[in-house]
Amino acid sequence: MDRKCSVDFVRMAMFTAIVVLCTISEGCRRTDVRDFEVSIPALTIENEAVVRQALSRFAGVDKSSLVFDHRAKKLVLKYDSMQLAKKNIEFEIAKAGLEANGVTPASVIFRER
């Protein structure tokens, strides 16, 4: 009888350990890094700094990932979708005075009123 209890205890401990490991590995995503392409029709070398400054306040934007394509008038970046949404990025660029994916500076000012 004593041996059966010890075998049952080991099985229960193994089952519990497996459940805990599965829960830890699959639950509570902390980051979800995604690529995002932003069309900025007025993008120039001169206003690149304005865009960098606008995005600097977001912890969820990987500042080292910013790639400006002045010819195509686009910005490609990596951001953590668990911390902010694409619209946050577009609105922040528009607040800085540049259209971003169709979000205009005027539309942002209108929404803030």
Q: Give one word for 27, left, alpha or beta, with left for phi > 0 and alpha for psi -120 to 50.
A: beta
Residue 18 is predicted with a pLDDT of 77
User: Residue 37 to residues 19, 63, 88, 101, 103: CA-CA distances in angstroms?
Assistant: 39, 14, 13, 9, 14
**In a 3-state reduction of DSSP, which class is residue 90?**
helix
Q: What is the pTM of this model?
A: 0.72
Tokens of 23: 């829960």
Rounded CA separation 9/79 (Å):
46
Domains of the chain: which residue ranges?
1-29, 33-112
- Tell me the pLDDT band of 44, cut-offs 50, 70 and 90: very high
Range 33-112 classified under CATH 3.30.70.100: yes
